Amino acid sequence: MSTLPKPYSLPLLVDKSEPKKPILTEDNLFHPFSKSPFAAIRARGEAIQTLAPCPMCASHHSAVHAHTQAAPKAVKYECPDCGWPTHCTEEHWREDTEHQKYCSRLREVNEDEHDLRSGRRLREFELPGPQDSEAAISFSNWDLFWYTRSFPSMDTERSRRHASRLLTYPITIGSVLHQHSYLTLNNQRLTPEGSRSLAALRTTLHVPPGAPETEEASADKPQMRIFILGARAESSLPPHVWEQLCLPFPSAHFHLFFIGPQVSLPRPPNSGATPNAPGTQQNSQASVTATETFTEKSELAEEKPVEDGEEPAYLPNVYEPPTPAPIARLKRTRESIQRYGIPSYTVPYTPQLTITGMQANYSEVHPQFQETFDPYTDCFFLFTPGFGFPSAKSVSEETGEPLLQIASPTEWGPVIPSLLATKCPIFVTGFSPADVERDVKSLSLAPEVAGEFDWVITPGPNAFGSEKWEVADFDPRVMVKTNWGVWGIRGKRRDVQEKKSWL
Ligand SMILES: [Zn+2]
Ligand SMILES: [Zn+2]
C-alpha cells in the first residue's frame, strides 16, 4: 500500500536531542548536509549517500559501453549551491547540465529543514482554538482558510510551506466535507451523484440552514466516522492537529479510525520502548516525537517522550518506508485489542474528537464494521494509496508480472470492493498529477471495481495540499508534494434506482 513520498516524518517532528535556544538565524539557514549543526540532517545526508546513484554515472552506464562500465557510483559530492549529496564527484557534478533544474528546489528544502530546527518560535504551528460561531470559514484556498480561521498570518512562502505540510491531512478532509468546500457543482469538481453523498454527510456535520452552529446543536446527532485506510504519517500527527479538522464543524462529533499495517501505536505505558507489534522494531531508537514542538497540550501526555541523549535514527524514505515512530500516550489512551482483536488503541481526545488506531490490514477488521456503515455518517479517506503502483508481493498468474496494488490480494484488491459495497464515499489523494492519473487509470483495470462506482469528486488539484517539496532519498531528483491532488468515488447505487422505478 505504500508508495514512496508519503512522508512518515512530519515537520513538527523535532529532534529532542537538539538544543532548545535559537541557534540559527534566518540568514544562516543554508548548510551542506555533512556540515549541518543538526544530527538528523547529517544522518539524512549519509542515508542518501548510500541509497542514491550518481545520475551522470547512471546515464553513462546505460549508454554504449554498458558492458565495460561499472555500476553507477553513489553520491558522495555535495553540490555547493543546494548542499545535497548529488553526484559521485565534483567532476560529474560539473558535467551535469540537468542538475540546475533541481538545484533551487533542493536548496529551498535544505533551508526549510534547517529553519524547522533553528529554535526560532514557529508561529506557523500555533493553531487557533474554537471558531467564533458568527464568522464563516472559507475553504477556497489556504490563504482564505487561514484568515477566516484566525491563524497567525503566514507572511513568507516558508511559513506557508511549513503550515500547509502540517495541516494538509486534516484540512484536506475538512475542505472536502464542509458545506463551504471549494469542490462544487459549478466548477465541476463535484458531480451530481457526489452532491447527494455530501448532502447526506452534511446533515450530520452541520445544522439546518439558518440555525446556529453551536455545540448544543450536536446533542442529538450521530458521530461522524472517518475511516483513514493505509494510514502512515497521518496516524502519527498529534491529536491537537487533528482537532483542527473538528473546529470548523462546531456541531459535529468525530471519530477518526486510522487503519493499516503501518499505523503508529502509542508507546507502551512506563516504557521508552516501542509497542511490541510487527513492523515497528526499526523505530526503537527514533528520538523524534510528534508532540515536542506543541507544548500547549503536552500536559496530557502521561509519560515523557523519549529522553535526551539518544542518537536520532534517520529512517530513509525509500519505497517501503517503515512505520512512523510510536506516538505519545495520552492520559485517557486505552488499549482496544479486546474490542477489535488486533493491536489498537482509542483515545477520547475532546468531547468532539475520538481517535482509534488499528495496526492491521483493513480486510481483517472490515467484518466488525460491515453491518454498521451508513452513508449519512461514514466516509473513507485514502491518502496516497498507490493503487496504480505494482505490488511488491503479488504477481499475476497469467503473465508473471507484478499485479497493480488495486488488484493485488495482498494490498487493495479485497478492500476497494468492500468499500464500494458500503455506498459511503471514498476520497483519495495523490502526490503529483502523474500519481493521480496512475491511480485513476488503475480503477478501470481492477476486477469488482471497474464499472462498479460513480464519481463523487472529479480528479484534480487539492487546494489544501502541502506546498513543501518532499525529496526522495534514493534519488534527490524525485520530488513530490503531499496530497497534491484529490478525487472521490462511491459504489454504484443500483438498488436505489430500482426501488425508485418500482415505486
Ligand atoms: Zn558519477
Ligand atoms: Zn545543487
State the ligand closest to the CA atom of 58.
1
8 Å CB contact between 197 and 493 = no
Reference 262, options 272, 277, 276, 242; nearest CA is 277
Grid cell in block for residue 210: 439558518
Residue 486 has phi, psi (to 5 degrees) of -145, 150
At residue 493, the pLDDT reads: 81
Q: Looking up cell 517501503, which residue turns up?
A: 320
Tell how far CA 290 is from the center of its chain: 14
Cα 18 to averaged position of ligand 2 atoms, centre (Å): 26
**How far, in Å, is the centroid of ligand 2 from the Cα of 165?**
23
Cell of 446: 481492477
pLDDT at residue 345, rounded to an integer: 93
User: Is the distance from CB of 450 to CB of 441 less than 8 angstroms?
Assistant: no
Residue-level pLDDT at 332: 77
Work out the average pLDDT over 314-341. 72
- Residue 271 has a pLDDT of 56
Q: Which three cell numbers stand for residue 74?
A: 553513489
Cα dist. 500→69, 374, 424, 452, 464 in Å? 69, 19, 19, 19, 38
The structure's pTM equals 0.85
**How far apart are the C-alpha atoms of 104 and 224, rounded to whole Å?**
43
For residue 322, pLDDT over 90 is answered with no
Measured from the alpha carbon of residue 55, the closest ligand is 1
Residue 272 has pLDDT above 60, yes or no: no
pLDDT score for 311: 43
Per-residue pLDDT of 359-415, as tens digits, reads: 999 999 999 999 999 999 999 999 999 999 999 889 988 889 999 999 999 999 999
Higher pLDDT, 66 or 182: 182
More confident site: 284 or 271: 271
Residue where the block lists cell 542514491:
52
Residues bordering ligand 2, an ion, CB closer than 5 Å: 79, 81-82, 103
Residue 209's CB is within 10 A of a number of other CB atoms, namely 6
Cell of 151: 491563524
Q: Is the pLDDT of residue 21 over 80?
A: no
CB-based burial label for 20 (10 Å; 0-12, 13-18, 19+): exposed
Using CA atoms, how far apart are residues 160 and 120, in angstroms rounded to an integer?
16
Q: Which helix (H) or strand (E) holds 481?
A: none
Of the listed ligands, the closest to the CA of 105 is 2
pLDDT class of 268 with cuts at 50, 70, 90: confident
Reply yes or no on whether the pLDDT at 5 is more than 70: no
Cα 44 to middle of ligand 1, angstroms: 20
Secondary structure of residue 261 in the 3-state scheme: coil
H or E stretch including 375? none
Cβ-defined contacts of 297-301 (< 8 Å, 24+)? 297/238, 297/239, 297/240, 300/330, 300/331, 301/328, 301/329, 301/330, 301/331
pLDDT digits (tens, 9 = 90+) for 108-143: 999 999 999 999 989 999 999 998 777 789 999 999
Is 431 in a helix, a strand, or coil? coil
Measured in Å, residue 34 CA sits from the centre of ligand 1 at 19
Paired residues of 402 in beta bridges: 395
Residue-level pLDDT at 3: 40
Which three-class secondary structure string do you get for 191-236? CHHHHHHHHHHHHHHCCCCCCCCCCHHHCCCCCEEEEEECCCHHHH
Q: Supply the pLDDT for residue 335.
A: 80
Ligand nearest to the CA of 60: 1
